[in-house]
Structure 1
């Protein structure tokens, strides 16, 4: 045997190195070793081991279609070694899960891993079937519990806890998502490759539940992890950052995060499990006038959902984000198209009464009415409350603010603004008194009553140093409308200069 042959590691040893590197989160090294095994004339057993490792690496690095190719190859050359959990990659990219013929192979022992793999595969398939989201959530919860009992971590294309959290979030149940991920974090489920992902999804559940401070702390904790960050985690992290900035009404912050978002999107191919993150970025793109740049990725999302038959669980939140993006971009035809998709999802027999699809379809329909100036206060209030219960309090507040902008009835205006403030304050904070119910000042103040409620809002934001565009973003009106209000305020107060205007505004609002 020659010296080079003696120095070259056996493929079984190289496959073991790849597996160990993957389990510690060193995906570059894991991918290199696994690819070297696959490029060799190694025994089939080693090739299959390497294929499973490389599939996991691809999934973490945002290339789920490549992972699906590897799983399909394994199913073709070694049907008995195909993993049921390969459905994560196959279904996640709109492919069929091949049937496996195990009649000629030895049955797989009913180990914890085998049980978890089977439950994950079953759950993923159920999630795209009519009425399957509840059973999918149950099976993923059980799969995670099984792996908690296992001594060694397991490399999957995704963790059952992460998948379960995504299902719960798409069902409008952030509390369930939080519970699932909390258990995974406590058990260190999956080890190093999943620590950052679980923290990010925990923070996303906090954001969906309206606890923005906890979400920010969770995002910071995830970003501080020492493990290398890969494309999938980077996409979720930047989308979460954008979501928090958007909910804070910080347009300048959105502009700052958008360049990072573009890079993260470019590095990650569209798949079923990234719809939540890309959907959030679509809303941000709508606000920033960047939807044209994101359009190819949005089309990929639509094509994926079409390939899967528009499953209600995944399609309804996706079309809701697209609807919000179209509203933000002032694109009524697109908004109407996505509202129609939501109506179809709600009409699906699998969408039971009170389901998230039904809530979103009603919300889109009401929002379209509001955009035309048809503001029905009771309907808007009911829809906003339903959105809040589904973990979308910020969207409910936006609808209420939009209604406030569109109505000419001062009483409805005050009611809608109070509703928006209450939703944004959260359930633990006492609601603010609506402008219509505020007590009158004991002593007359110079010219306080000459400003309308809407002008007072513009004035307060102007004094805070916001630009016309930023004020418009906060109040859901255009910068030109803000300029019109400021011009009217100057006329009402008789301010001759910008300095006079600010002095008069302070005096007026103090009254």
Structure 2
């Protein structure tokens, strides 16, 4: 609307940055208005003490004041009004003026412009610096017909074009005011293109303003969608791309496909990303071939990836960005090799180069995220953390990618048995941008919460996190880059007897790995998760194929050899025929490959089944050494009772002293609690006071980390082997 127009500054006219023109102080402005006020309405509406003055750049003028000022202007000379209107629109003094005003001035004589300015200043409508008084400016823009204002604006744009001056922010003001002019639209598009890869948020605003100025909506669709996706607005990006891809001859098609693939990937549907590249075809994929390879390998289509991208390909240009793209494709293909150490260095190089380029491209996944994932699958969480910190510092991928990087950082911290750092990173992910977590990130976050709860031994927290994960998994599909969270959910499902909830997804994961030839780097951690799930699922038969797979992979993978030895130790512990030396060696080997919690859990279980007190104490000491800050020892001892039940051991055999984390007196109280006894009844049975019974129960609750009574009952059943089976 006309009332929203704002003038250009002198800096816009000369095309260079200057400080804003000083504005008059409020007393000076009010004095000028007082001089101009010839009617009671103006005096009453503008000059009353305490009445706030409207900002001519942002605030609309009150209708009564606008009318009063307009009445005053009608009493002025027509030439003065024309001068004030021109200056309000954006013309400057000194500088070119509208042709009509120039003609009027020329007809009055050479000195008349100075006289015209002097009359405007003496009337109080124009400040000495050449600025129209705010209320006067707004009144002029409000009361002047829109067509007249736009005509003056177009004339001013013509002056910019003729002189070769950049319009800068003035172009944005014109677009927001409703002026449709191809020159303004072109200026805004050009500015948006320059900022797209470095500041997509600003680019998105500029493209939107270009549309207001009359830009072709289809011509900028791919770039607008790229900007929207980069700031995390997936819905807007998707709608724009849908409109582009259904058009007969879409411009910037390859970029549009890249954006579509990135959006599908963030929605947790990487197979749709691969479908988009398949639709594009090898003949049109061009420099996007590495992205196509990432998407296709992620959903198990190795042949399609190789058809799109040859690993020996070289970048079309020697830029950092082009090399980073090619290295990403090479690195992800090499992770499928029998030697699992080949791909990680290549992906790290790709991440470093993308960091150095400072650009934000639409990608199914960034090289930083992929390199971190490979490091985590290689049991190198410290390296994953270093990669992620560098990517975050460089702003790799823009704001839309920050949550994923923070969540992978949290996974690295969890794997290193540092739950506090993991939760800090999760918190950073939640506030990394103003949008809710995309489905892919929400799924990863929910699996993290499950993993942290499982490691803490908090049964209630585990159940709550599991419910969140169950909902999150409904919004995603299985892909190669989500195997870590699926492995965590596999174990936790077994722990909670909820395996049926994830069985379909796990089948899809095994099929995906089989289609890729079972690459050790990706398959080994998943087999290890299956081993742990089989132990908790009371299914020794399910354990055998995964243990055998680890043994086979041990020929080329040090991690696989460590996990195979750990699996063998687990089997010996469950059979009750283990040597403390072997179990401790396996546990410390797990710690050496970045899995300290898993090592502590193994020796904790072994301690719960040790026949000799010296072995039990040694194993407990090892567990505390590997996991000094948490409750793994007590949790593992409680789980030991559960797996003892799975192995068919003697349920009436008591736990060794202290393995459950409870004293003999507390165990006696616990049995009575599980029978439903009250404090008074427990006191009568044990010849203690009800207050003492309450004290015992409170101490057990603190020691076991129970949050409420139902949580305490679950933990007590796990701690006392004789109470695991339901009463007959």
- Is structure 2 residue 541 aligned with structure 1 residue 333? yes
Q: Which residue of 1 aligns with 2:584?
A: 381
Q: Which residue of 1 aligns with 2:661?
A: 457
Question: What is the rounded CA distance, in whole Å, between the counterparts of 1:339 and 1:502 in structure 2?
Answer: 47
Q: Which residue of 1 aligns with 2:229?
A: 22
Alignment match of 2:396 (pick from 189, 195, 214): 189
- Structure 1, residues 21-47: CA drift from partner, whole Å, max 9, x if none? 11211111111111111111124x533
8 A Cα contact 2:293 2:306, kept in partner: no
CA RMSD of aligned residues (A): 3.3
Relative to structure 1, the CA distance from residue 113 to residue 462 in structure 2 (aligned partners, 3 Å threshold; closer, same or farther) is: farther
Question: What is the rounded CA distance, in whole Å, between the counterparts of 1:417 and 1:75 in structure 2?
Answer: 59
Q: Which residue of 2 aligns with 1:446?
A: none
Alignment match of 1:423 (pick from 626, 647, 666): 626
Q: Which residue of 1 aligns with 2:506?
A: 298
- Is structure 2 residue 266 aligned with structure 1 residue 91? no
Question: What is the rounded CA distance, in whole Å, between the counterparts of 1:107 and 1:10 in structure 2?
Answer: 32
Q: Which residue of 2 aligns with 1:495?
A: 686
Relative to structure 1, the CA distance from residue 409 to residue 126 in structure 2 (aligned partners, 3 Å threshold; closer, same or farther) is: same
Relative to structure 1, the CA distance from residue 272 to residue 217 in structure 2 (aligned partners, 3 Å threshold; closer, same or farther) is: same
Q: Secondary structure at the match of 1:310?
A: coil
Q: Which has the higher contact order (CA 8 A, sep 6+)?
A: 1
User: CA shift at 1:253, angstroms?
Assistant: 0.5
Matches within 5 A, 1:147-296: 147-228=354-435, 229-296=437-504
- Is structure 2 residue 278 aligned with structure 1 residue 72? yes
User: CA shift at 1:119, angstroms?
Assistant: 0.3
Q: Secondary structure at the match of 2:291?
A: helix
Relative to structure 1, the CA distance from residue 416 to residue 38 in structure 2 (aligned partners, 3 Å threshold; closer, same or farther) is: same
Relative to structure 1, the CA distance from residue 451 to residue 381 in structure 2 (aligned partners, 3 Å threshold; closer, same or farther) is: closer
Alignment match of 1:411 (pick from 605, 611, 614): 614
8 A Cα contact 1:238 1:260, kept in partner: yes
**Gap regions ≥5 residues in structure 1:** 1-5, 432-449, 469-479
Matches within 5 A, 1:32-71: 32-43=239-250, 45-71=251-277
Question: What is the rounded CA distance, in whole Å, between the counterparts of 2:480 and 2:291 in structure 1?
Answer: 15
The number of residues matched between the two structures is 454
Q: Secondary structure at the match of 1:425?
A: coil
8 A Cα contact 1:75 1:82, kept in partner: no
8 A Cα contact 2:358 2:395, kept in partner: no
Q: Secondary structure at the match of 1:289?
A: coil
Question: What is the rounded CA distance, in whole Å, between the counterparts of 2:689 and 2:433 in structure 1?
Answer: 51
8 A Cα contact 1:384 1:395, kept in partner: yes
User: CA shift at 1:255, angstroms?
Assistant: 0.5
User: CA shift at 1:68, angstroms?
Assistant: 0.5
Relative to structure 1, the CA distance from residue 496 to residue 307 in structure 2 (aligned partners, 3 Å threshold; closer, same or farther) is: farther
Q: Which has the larger radius of gyration?
A: 2
TM-score by length of 2: 0.58
User: CA shift at 1:100, angstroms?
Assistant: 5.0
Question: What is the rounded CA distance, in whole Å, between the counterparts of 1:23 and 1:500 in structure 2?
Answer: 61
Relative to structure 1, the CA distance from residue 453 to residue 202 in structure 2 (aligned partners, 3 Å threshold; closer, same or farther) is: same
User: CA shift at 1:330, angstroms?
Assistant: 2.1
8 A Cα contact 1:210 1:426, kept in partner: no
Question: What is the rounded CA distance, in whole Å, between the counterparts of 2:343 and 2:494 in structure 1?
Answer: 32
Q: Which residue of 1 aligns with 2:326?
A: 118
- Is structure 2 residue 319 aligned with structure 1 residue 135? no
TM-score by length of 1: 0.82
Question: What is the rounded CA distance, in whole Å, between the counterparts of 1:314 and 1:157 in structure 2?
Answer: 18
- Structure 1, residues 213-257: CA drift from partner, whole Å, max 9, x if none? 111111122123334210111111111111111111101111111
Question: What is the rounded CA distance, in whole Å, between the counterparts of 1:461 and 1:137 in structure 2?
Answer: 54
8 A Cα contact 1:235 1:261, kept in partner: yes
Question: What is the rounded CA distance, in whole Å, between the counterparts of 1:32 and 1:451 in structure 2?
Answer: 61
Q: Secondary structure at the match of 1:383?
A: helix
